[in-house]
Structure 1
Amino acid sequence: MTEKETLTYYLIKRLRAIRKERNISQEQLSELAGVESRYINKLENGKLNPTLNTLEKIMLALDISYRELFELSSHETDIESLLVALAELSPSQRKVAINAFIELLSLEK
């Protein structure tokens, strides 16, 4: 999985979790966001990648900020420190760290 695919996987998983936490169906979300329900279904099943424009529509429909999307709440300093440390790694070290993260995500399934 590439870095882009990893980010897309994370975003989709996070959006689905927020939608479910708020007891919003895919159909309701599609109406709120102004996109087709098939789009939400394909998005959540990993068959589509959201554009930034569509991502923003979905975030507005769910009434969430980027901070919430990336789960930067009480753990924000830990996450920010981790992201800074990740950015300071060499490309090969970063790839190893990202692959480890991907492995952890796959264990969560």
Structure 2
Amino acid sequence: MSDVVKRVGDRIRRLRKDKGLSQEQLAELSGLHTNYVGQVERGEKNLTIETLQKIVGGLGVSLEELFRYLDPMERKDTLGQIVEMLSERSAQDQVMALRVLQTVLDWEKSKD
């Protein structure tokens, strides 16, 4: 399969794990067979839009969230580097990084 199919499968796996779901649970929530979910996550199946809609429904995310950060950003400015680093981390790590950033910005604002 193509690289994009593999990246979509990896993204689905990451979102599923971030939500604490097993493949079996995601399959049940999505109305799909467990083996099919495994094939999707391994990049062995080329998905239809309808199947993607079922999977994001099972995950409780939007299509936009599924595809967010799927491709590396072309601009490698500081913001792009931050987004790229965080996109590879768990949701819990992203929340922690947001809290740290907010603390730094609040501290900076209080100096004025």
> What TM-score range do you get, normalising by the shorter chain?
0.5 to 0.7
TM-fit CA distance, 1:50: 1.5
Residue identity matched to 1:24: L
Are the aligned partners of 2:56 and 2:62 in contact in 1 as well (CA < 8 Å)?
A: yes
String of CA shifts for 1:47-90, please: whole Å, max 9, x gaps: 22211111110001111112211225xxxxxx4xx49xxxxxxx
- Residue pairs, 1:60-99, within 5 angstroms: 60-71=57-68, 79=73, 82=74
Structure holding more helix per residue:
1
Runs of 4+ in 1 over 2 A off after TM superposition: none
Unaligned runs of 5+ in 1: 73-78, 84-107
In structure 1, the residue matched to 2:97 is: none
* Aligned length in residues: 74
Q: Does 1:56 align with 2:53?
A: yes
Give the alignment partner of residue 6 of structure 1, picking from 3, 7, 12: 3
Alignment RMSD? 2.5
Alignment match, 1:18: 15
Distance 1:24 1:65 in 2: 17
Structure 1 length-normalised TM:
0.59
List gaps (5 residues or longer) in structure 2. Answer: 76-87, 89-112
